[in-house]
């Protein structure tokens, strides 16, 4: 018993020292996570306002500055007039109206560049000063590469709307959002490891083992649900079937399987895309609530128990917000809140999963 107490005191003291040394790193990574979170919300607004195709040039350096003269505004507006979105949807748009959509896309791109600087410059400084643990370095380099890839992916997505479409490809939009969500979750997991290096359950046997496995399954289900939401956004599928729980008076709407081959309906038919998102969201809610109720009967520690409660609360809130957004025909404000709610639900789920990991027993903090 005395040996166990001494061991626990040593771990507690080590954890306190590690937390103090990691505070600058944690603050930096949390701020980066917040910026990615905000980027996803700004991206949702950009999509909802049909602003993403307003800038037809990719200039990573010179594009940092906005138009500074009337001649430059006219040049950019003339470029926009050459694409199908203007010709089929926005014919007769005034320069003032063009500026409105331009600024949303400009802010979106500028925020992305700012994230790159906020991540890369402190990373170089922490590395040079020797503040990065060996285990953390490869993760940060991977994140740096993923950030650069996200910039390329953003342009790849936007370019899909310049020739034959009036909006970006829903496939490329889904890839762009998936990568953003992965980056956000990756940063959060690193923050959890730095803030709570010793968090976890003493033993994951029996029901606790299966509860954590079930949480892993819920992560996969939520990921598929979020990606399906990108297809809803890409097809503007939220602007139809604005009733709940039925769709035009039917559980499964007419036209669900109208395309051939059938697999295309999952990605290109509005009825199928919206129905699938509803179904996946409902399953996610049921899964979160079911795991929470199950956890009430298991010998969890207080942090894990609170994490499961927050997960259930986030799932209920996001599902409710999704239904309200649908019934209101996706106004920009609710659409942006729904995007934010999805990331908050992901945050709660990853936190619960982390709290239910096996507690490290080697006497060292990750």
Rounded to 5 degrees, φ, ψ at 134 are -60, -40
Tokens 């370095």 correspond to: 137
Q: Where are the alpha helices (DSSP H) in the chain?
A: 2-48, 70-80, 84, 95-128, 136-159, 170-195, 207-234, 265-268, 270-295, 302-327, 332-355
SS3 358: strand
Cis peptide, bond prior to residue 261, ω within 30 of zero: yes
Residue 93 is classified by DSSP as -
Please count the CA atoms within 13 angstroms of the CA of 176 that sit on its side-chain side. 27
**247 pairs with which residues across the strands?**
250
SS3 311: helix
139 is in an annotated binding site: no
176 is in an annotated binding site: no
Burial tier of 354 (Cβ tally within 10 Å: 0-12, 13-18, 19+): buried
Please count the CA atoms within 13 angstroms of the CA of 252 that sit on its side-chain side. 6
CA 194, CA 186: separation in Å to the nearest integer? Answer: 13
CA 41, CA 343: separation in Å to the nearest integer? Answer: 9
Encode 140-172: b = buried (16+ Cβ within 10 Å), e = exposed: beebeebbeebbebbebbbebbeeeeebbbbeb
198 contacts: CB under 8 Å, gap ≥ 6? 11, 15, 359, 360, 365
CA 253, CA 259: separation in Å to the nearest integer? Answer: 14
* DSSP result, 30-85: HHHHHHHHHHHHHHHHHHHTT-TTS-----TTGGGSPP-SHHHHHHHHHHHTTSHI
Q: From the annotation, which residues make up the binding site for heme?
A: 277, 338
Which residue positions form the known binding site?
277, 338
């Amino acid at each position: 018993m005395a040996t166990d107490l001494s061991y626990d005191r040593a771990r507690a003291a080590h954890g306190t020292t590690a937390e103090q040394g990691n505070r600058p790193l944690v603050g930096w990574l949390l701020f980066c996570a917040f910026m990615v979170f905000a980027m996803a919300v700004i991206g949702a607004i950009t999509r909802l306002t049909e602003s993403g195709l307003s800038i037809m040039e990719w200039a990573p350096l010179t594009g940092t500055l906005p138009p500074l003269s009337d001649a430059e505004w006219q040049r950019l507006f003339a470029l926009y007039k050459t694409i199908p979105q203007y010709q089929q949807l926005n014919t007769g748009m005034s320069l003032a109206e063009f500026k409105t959509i331009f600024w949303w896309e400009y802010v979106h791109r500028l925020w992305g560049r700012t994230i790159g600087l906020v991540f890369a410059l402190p990373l170089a400084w922490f590395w040079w000063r020797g503040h990065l643990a060996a285990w953390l370095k490869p993760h940060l380099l991977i994140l740096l590469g993923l950030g650069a890839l996200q910039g390329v992916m953003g342009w790849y997505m936007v370019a899909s709307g310049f020739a034959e479409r009036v909006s970006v490809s829903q496939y490329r939009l889904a890839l762009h959002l998936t990568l953003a969500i992965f980056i956000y979750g990756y940063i959060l997991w690193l923050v959890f490891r730095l803030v709570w290096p010793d968090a976890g359950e003493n033993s994951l046997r029996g029901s606790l083992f299966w509860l954590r496995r079930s949480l892993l399954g819920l992560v996969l289900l939520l990921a598929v649900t979020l990606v399906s939401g990108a297809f809803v956004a890409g097809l503007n599928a939220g602007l139809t079937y604005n009733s709940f729980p039925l769709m035009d008076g039917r559980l499964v709407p007419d036209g669900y399987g109208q395309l051939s081959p059938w697999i295309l309906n999952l990605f290109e038919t509005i009825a199928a895309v919206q129905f699938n998102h509803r179904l996946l969201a409902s399953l996610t809610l049921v899964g979160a609530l079911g795991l929470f109720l199950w956890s009430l009967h298991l010998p969890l520690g207080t942090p894990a128990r609170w994490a499961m409660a927050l997960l259930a609360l986030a799932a209920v809130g996001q599902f409710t917000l999704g239904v309200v957004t649908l019934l209101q025909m996706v106004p920009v404000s609710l659409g942006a809140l729904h995007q934010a709610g999805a990331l908050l639900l992901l945050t709660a789920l990853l936190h619960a999963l982390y709290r239910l990991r096996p507690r490290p027993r080697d006497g060292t903090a990750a």
